[in-house]
Structure 1
């Protein structure tokens, strides 16, 4: 990417190149989750560079999502998943510490400071989600995930979205069935069936009532005002 930026300095062109590369990367992981375990070393290196530039932050965001969504490569790659989990832990603690202390560069203008805070909060939220999903897939990581999310929930940093997300995931981990339903990867690998209660969105056209209680996700108390049908969410096939 650095070489392409030098050869083709046009910002619009580079934005399109980065977007296409990210789409290809995510599609590759979706088709073959094992790639995540095979590419563990470069993924860990890229996560370590998450705060170097906005471009590297965006790449780290996408990698965090892929690691959590596909269980670090699947159930047969527990060692790789543990190392990826440790990298996510480190990234979480680094950004949590810097968010407590404030921005290191006090001379930057207000717009840059707000953008950086927003970017950091986005990164923290996605790292928290990835940690929770990875620990749900690999149950031996659950104790460490509880410790990490507990520290975030108690930190009460300025952006409430971060510590509230950690608190919500800690609540989900107290109920294994709900945890599997919400955080288990949506696509089973190697033909293994879903656990009970896990939603398979590819079957949306044949399901009458959604398994996910949308009114709970919206923090609304009482019975749902509508039983959502998948046909309300997914377009009909023609």
Structure 2
């Protein structure tokens, strides 16, 4: 083919150059377009040899993109590029013996956890999950149920645009390992929105909510350990603010607050012990209840009943089919 746009060698060179370059592959829009073009060529030709030639470069771009994900809350979004590569892995992985499971989990843990508030990434993720729903549930049955907390954050932040799409995905989140912890998580959606908006206010307008949460989660571990040690030796409870707690800025995040961390988690860890005492969250809830509701909160109050309706329908159906026994 003489036309560059139709020449797979041309697009393969773009990926090869990107894999060798020191810059972030996602920062070059031509890389995403080349991945999509090469995916189309492989579908059109249906050639094992072509897939085998293209796969190494696409895999290198995936690894480079993942490696470029940092604690930075800003910068170029990686989600659209990684989703395009994941689609290639799902469609042609069998030809090159590529197990897509680690790649999918890497996307959820390293990318979507930071970029779920990006409207374009959220929409593309929903489209990806809908398109591949049957394959994901058949080949990776625990994937969606493991990451249901992250997907609830995605929809809590983007419900207005993604309502219909998410309702198609939601039944896939319900499994024997998730149906119990999923129920209180649906009920907690308004509290989740309060927590997310509190993170947003605390992190500033130029930051991604997911990136800020990642920073909070990273810094929480040592503070939680110190708080637990203090509780063991002094009898004080995690979240005690002392006499001057009322003077603290309401927009700051207490990284040792277990309820905040529970609400903002990304993965299903079972039916965990509920941390009901949280002065910081209680204050945030009081402020949210007494002040004007945000549009996101109004949308969330519409989400929960609809999700609960689907939840009970699927759970009762599967219980009757003995899937939860």
Provide the TM-score with structure 1 as the length reference. Answer: 0.49
Higher relative contact order (CA 8 A, sep 6+): 2
Of structures 1 and 2, the larger Rg is shown by 2
